[in-house]
Amino acid sequence: MQLTSVTTSAKITSAKITNKSSPFAMFRLFFGAALSMFDFSTDVLMIQDYFQSDQVQRAWAILGMLRANLAMHLLISYLQNRKTGWKAVGMDWLLVLSYLKPGVDAWKVASGAAHEENSMLDAQQEMMMCKCTELVTESIPGTILQMDAFLSTSKARTGFQVRGALLHRE
């Protein structure tokens, strides 16, 4: 009974997002996806900056978080598409590895894509699961690590460190 109410709630939320009378919801959906994709580029710049400034442990920590995030997204993608065949799994893995998956998920939700027959989750649920995974494996630990680096370093901070610390939150 509880699963039914969660599914119904997700369908209502999805219907609200795809409703044309709610442009703020659409903006929020696509802005969140863009922020996720932009977050990856700032993480790469931070890794490079940490390696150049001899903060190797922090660089490896962020790299480990990105790898954990990728591994979890690949697992979710496999579980979502395993019954539809390896071609679907491979295509979704390419989206995950290219960090375009948040944008594609947002488009699926915004367009009201139908639940695929052999898929484990609908588009809204898949997007939310991927977002939660990103928060747990990469965004929250990365924010803590970068704020620690920002606050504990007494030398002048680079522009990437300031932007990375401020923009890493979602």
Q: 155-168, pLDDT tens digit by residue?
A: 655 555 555 555 55
Q: Rounded to an integer, what distance in angstroms lies between the CA atom of residue 22 and that of residue 13?
A: 12
pLDDT tens for 94-112 read 999 998 888 888 888 888 8
Percent of the chain clearing pLDDT 90 (strictly above): 29
Quick check: 22 pLDDT over 90? no
Please choose, from the candidates 13, 16, 23, the residue with its C-alpha nearest in 3D space to the C-alpha of residue 125: 13
Give 137 or 167, the one with higher predicted confidence.
137
Quick check: 20 pLDDT over 60? no
Domain range for 43 is 2-167
The continuous run of DSSP H or E covering 82 comes out as none
Q: What is the mean pLDDT of residues 137-159?
A: 79
Q: Rounded to an integer, what distance in angstroms lies between the CA atom of residue 93 and that of residue 100?
A: 10
- CA angle 11-16-20, nearest 5°? 135
Question: What total number of domains does the chain contain?
Answer: 1
